[in-house]
Amino acid sequence: IADLSVGGRARLSNDLSSTDGGSTWTVTLTAPNADDLARDPNRTYNSVGNRISVNLAGVSNSAGIAGAGQAVSTVTYDIDVIAPRCTIRLLDSALTAGETTKALFSF
């Protein structure tokens, strides 16, 4: 896990595992939650084009030879954690029986 890095304030779990002897690895990627965002002084809520990278110097093959440089994912992921908001405004807020008004919804 220490040799993996992710963008967009996402987190990786500690469940890094391989089921094929070390050729293919899986880990759980989690988007930031409300608590993470509350602690974020830059208020970086959404991000696009995030990548996962591996520090190859921390990885070695079966012969014990360490890699060099970084491997960066070719596939990207986006994070959108801001819930939609809506403001509702009535053109006439004092209706009497039988009257109508227009309602404006702003997202």
Least confident range from 20-24, 30-34, 93-97: namely 30-34
- Cα 18 from chain centroid (whole Å): 23
Q: Are 26 and 4 in contact (CB under 8 A)?
A: no
What's the whole-model pTM score?
Answer: 0.66
Q: Residue 44: pLDDT above 70?
A: no
Give the tokens for residue 26.
């899986």
